[in-house]
């Protein structure tokens, strides 16, 4: 395996109330590839959360004003700094998490776009005049609304996109004029610390941001339940989402949860194109992606052709060290995740599934796996695998596929391959998911689009302009004029 010098580790283990802190307890961050210690972050407490939230609330409510032009300039500078530091940040993302260096560099470039787009949303912070004269009761009134920050945003993020998903919460919150308290995933806190450090350098006021690494059950829960938090923006698993909903009570929440992405390949599809997209969508980041392609339904007459191509392309993937530029598939985040994926595949095989390639584990590595004839109800079809496993099944009736997808508990994004626009639109309109990509898999997103799904896949929509809308609220000012006759 290639040895790389250790990436730069940010100065402190946590940051709140304007300075870096070194909490007594620490979270050790280990590289899932070889178990080596990458660095340490603070293991914050519920008391730390209270101090951090109170300080941010104080700054937002009573601190100096932070005008929109300054917010925009700070975020533009942050985007430039991110781009300049792509190589260092990519190495840090790759070392502490599961991404290959190539995948990590792509994530840094996405984060640059997310932060730049957030800066540009300054133009969106607008209001309009209100038609008070539309009712006799309002005749003597004149008024308008503006968009105002909600106040304190709690951002809670997962391990699989440890920079861009942080950026998707922190940057829209800041341009909207909020303060933010960030709780990054236990496994990947270091790049979150580096991002906050970079924001401070770019000119974000130190009392408006805080980052508190720690456990979900302590820091996460304390943050969600804190009475001075106005909005919780969460990305992670469904079970955690449920726990957060129970703790948050009557508080605004945005939730980006899981998926088990379906692709439909219709009889007239370009099979070569579909096969390439399925392999990229199923095995990118070793399947640790909410948009990962997990279920492929193909018209029966195309089954053999598609399977042959998918298996061939899968056999060409390089499984190996994350630090090697040639590697396509790195490890899962920990051994527990790899053994869970292994047990789900074993369960499908015991029920009659055939393994076409893969189904092999070594420590945290699980080899890209293609299954077919998977029994109805197997977890690799109905749950979120969050690993490099895809199932391919033949269909005879599109209606059956639509009914199957709509009966799932997840509904994030899907893809449909066909050369016929009417068939494409028919399927797209009938699927109950947040987005349908035509002639692509559901594993596609730009950071400006409204992103999210229904059912177990989420509540509300993220994506920069939509997050800014959710993190700001209209405030009305109305003047009751003195009637002319008075
Ligand atoms: P997770 O739910 O285990 O953890 C996510 C975050 O929640 C972590 O920071 C964790 O510490 C925190 N947390 C845990 N318990 C908590 C509690 N009781 N209160 C508050 N916070 C708590 O998720 P993960 O394993 O890190 O990430 C994988 C999941 O994230 C998958 O389900 C994946 O689909 C989902 N995800 C969704 C999207 C999306 O945009 N839809 C993107 C990426 C990942």
Do the domain assignments include residue 283? yes
The pick from 164, 181, 240, 333 for probing ligand 1's pocket by mutation, whose C-beta has the most ligand atoms within 8 angstroms, reads 240
Q: Are residues 223 and 125 located together in one domain of the fold? A: yes
Handedness of CA 49, 117, 82, 435 (dihedral sign): positive
Nearest protein CA to atom 39 of ligand 1, as residue: 256
- Do residues 295 and 386 lie in contact, with contact meaning Cβ atoms separated by under 8 Å? no
Instruction: Give me the catalytic one of 256, 342, 384, 462.
Output: 256
Do the domain assignments include residue 252? yes
Task: Report how far residue 202's alpha carbon sits from residue 209's, in angstroms, rounded to the nearest whole number.
Answer: 13
Q: Is 186 in the pocket of ligand 1 (CB under 6 A)?
A: yes
| C-alpha count within 13 angstroms, C-beta hemisphere, residue 359 | 19
Task: Report how far residue 451's alpha carbon sits from residue 117's, in angstroms, rounded to the nearest whole number.
Answer: 15
pLDDT at residue 214 in the model:
97
Number of domains in the chain: 2
Instruction: Give me the catalytic one of 44, 290, 342, 462.
Output: 290
Q: Is 217 in the pocket of ligand 1 (CB under 6 A)?
A: yes
pLDDT at residue 23 in the model:
86
Distance 309 CA to ligand 1 centre (A): 34
Nearest protein CA to atom 8 of ligand 1, as residue: 185
Give phi and psi for 400, each to the nearest 5: -65, -40
Nearest protein CA to atom 40 of ligand 1, as residue: 256
Q: Is 256 in the pocket of ligand 1 (CB under 6 A)?
A: yes
Range of the structural domain that residue 90 is part of: 14-257+457-474
Do the domain assignments include residue 479? no
Handedness of CA 11, 13, 15, 20 (dihedral sign): negative
Q: Is 383 in the pocket of ligand 1 (CB under 6 A)?
A: no
The pick from 44, 111, 158 for probing ligand 1's pocket by mutation, whose C-beta has the most ligand atoms within 8 angstroms, reads 158
pLDDT at residue 9 in the model:
63
Q: Are residues 230 and 351 located together in one domain of the fold? A: no
Task: Report how far residue 133's alpha carbon sits from residue 371's, in angstroms, rounded to the nearest whole number.
Answer: 65
Q: Is 9 in the pocket of ligand 1 (CB under 6 A)?
A: no
Q: Is 183 in the pocket of ligand 1 (CB under 6 A)?
A: yes
Do the domain assignments include residue 177? yes
Nearest protein CA to atom 20 of ligand 1, as residue: 220
pLDDT at residue 114 in the model:
98
Q: Are residues 292 and 370 located together in one domain of the fold? A: yes
Q: Is 258 in the pocket of ligand 1 (CB under 6 A)?
A: yes
Q: Are residues 234 and 273 located together in one domain of the fold? A: no
Do the domain assignments include residue 71? yes
Q: Are residues 113 and 126 located together in one domain of the fold? A: yes
Distance 214 CA to ligand 1 centre (A): 13
Active site residue 256: yes
Residues (pLDDT < 70) of the chain are 1-11, 485-486
Q: Is 107 in the pocket of ligand 1 (CB under 6 A)?
A: no
Q: Are residues 119 and 266 located together in one domain of the fold? A: no
Active site residue 290: yes
Q: Is 443 in the pocket of ligand 1 (CB under 6 A)?
A: no
Do the domain assignments include residue 1? no
Give phi and psi for 442, each to the nearest 5: -75, -5
Nearest protein CA to atom 22 of ligand 1, as residue: 216
Q: Are residues 229 and 342 located together in one domain of the fold? A: no
Q: What CATH number has the domain bearing residue 409?
A: 3.40.309.10
Distance 479 CA to ligand 1 centre (A): 46
pLDDT at residue 486 in the model:
60
Handedness of CA 252, 254, 257, 261 (dihedral sign): positive
Q: Are residues 243 and 339 located together in one domain of the fold? A: no
Distance 410 CA to ligand 1 centre (A): 15
Q: Are residues 190 and 225 located together in one domain of the fold? A: yes
Q: What CATH number has the domain bearing residue 42?
A: 3.40.605.10
Q: Is 386 in the pocket of ligand 1 (CB under 6 A)?
A: yes
| C-alpha count within 13 angstroms, C-beta hemisphere, residue 157 | 30
pLDDT digits (tens, 9 = 90+) for 144-195: 999 999 999 999 999 999 999 999 999 999 999 999 999 999 999 999 999 9
Do the domain assignments include residue 39? yes
Atom from ligand 1 closest to the CA of residue 236:
30
Q: Is 166 in the pocket of ligand 1 (CB under 6 A)?
A: no
Q: Are residues 252 and 401 located together in one domain of the fold? A: no
Do the domain assignments include residue 449? no
Nearest protein CA to atom 32 of ligand 1, as residue: 237
Q: Are residues 343 and 416 located together in one domain of the fold? A: yes
Q: Are residues 307 and 229 located together in one domain of the fold? A: no
pTM of the model: 0.96
């Amino acid at each position: 395996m290639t040895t790389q010098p250790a990436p730069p580790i940010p100065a402190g283990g946590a940051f709140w109330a304007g300075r870096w802190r070194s909490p007594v307890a620490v979270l050790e961050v280990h590289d899932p590839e070889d178990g080596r210690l990458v660095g340490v972050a603070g293991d914050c407490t519920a008391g730390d959360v209270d101090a951090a939230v109170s300080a941010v609330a104080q700054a937002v409510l009573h601190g100096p004003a932070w005008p929109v032009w300054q917010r925009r300039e700070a975020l533009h500078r942050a985007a430039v700094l991110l781009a300049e530091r792509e190589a260092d940040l990519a190495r840090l993302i790759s070392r502490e998490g599961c991404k290959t260096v190539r995948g990590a560099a792509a994530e840094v470039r996405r984060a640059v776009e997310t932060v730049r787009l957030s800066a540009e949303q300054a133009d969106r912070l607008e209001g309009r005049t209100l038609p008070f004269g539309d009712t006799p009761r309002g005749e003597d009134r004149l008024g308008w609304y503006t968009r105002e920050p909600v106040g304190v945003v709690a951002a809670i993020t997962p391990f699989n996109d440890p920079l861009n998903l942080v950026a998707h919460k922190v940057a829209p919150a800041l341009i909207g004029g909020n303060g933010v308290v960030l709780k990054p995933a236990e496994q990947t806190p270091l790049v979150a610390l580096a991002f906050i450090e970079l924001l401070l350098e770019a000119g974000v006021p130190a009392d408006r941001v805080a980052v508190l690494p720690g456990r979900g059950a302590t820091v996460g829960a304390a943050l969600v339940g804190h009475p001075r938090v106005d909005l919780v923006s969460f990305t992670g698993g469904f079970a955690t989402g449920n726990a957060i909903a129970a703790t948050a009570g009557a508080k605004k929440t945005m939730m980006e949860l899981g998926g088990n992405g379906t692709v439909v390949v219709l009889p007239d599809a370009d099979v070569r194109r579909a096969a390439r997209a399925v392999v990229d969508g199923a095995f990118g980041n070793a399947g640790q992606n909410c948009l990962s392609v997990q279920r492929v339904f193909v018209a029966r007459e195309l089954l053999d052709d598609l399977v042959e191509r998918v298996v061939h392309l899968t056999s060409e993937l390089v499984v190996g060290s994350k630090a090697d530029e040639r590697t396509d598939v790195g490890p899962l985040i920990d051994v527990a995740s790899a053994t869970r994926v292994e047990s789900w595949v074993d369960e499908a095989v015991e029920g009659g599934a055939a393994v076409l390639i893969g189904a092999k584990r070594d420590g945290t590595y699980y080899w890209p796996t293609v299954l077919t004839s998977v029994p109805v109800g197997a977890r690799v079809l109905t749950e979120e695998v969050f690993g490099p496993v895809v199932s391919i099944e033949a269909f005879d009736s599109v209606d059956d596929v639509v009914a199957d997808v709509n009966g799932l508990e997840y509904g994030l994004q899907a893809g449909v391959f066909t050369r016929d626009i009417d068939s494409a639109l028919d399927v797209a309109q009938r699927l109950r998911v947040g987005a349908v990509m035509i002639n692509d898999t559901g594993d596609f997103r730009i950071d400006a689009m409204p992103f999210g799904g229904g059912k177990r896949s989420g509540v509300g929509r993220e994506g920069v302009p939509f997050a800014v809308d959710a993190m700001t609220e209209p405030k009305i000012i109305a003047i009751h004029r003195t009637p002319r006759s008075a």
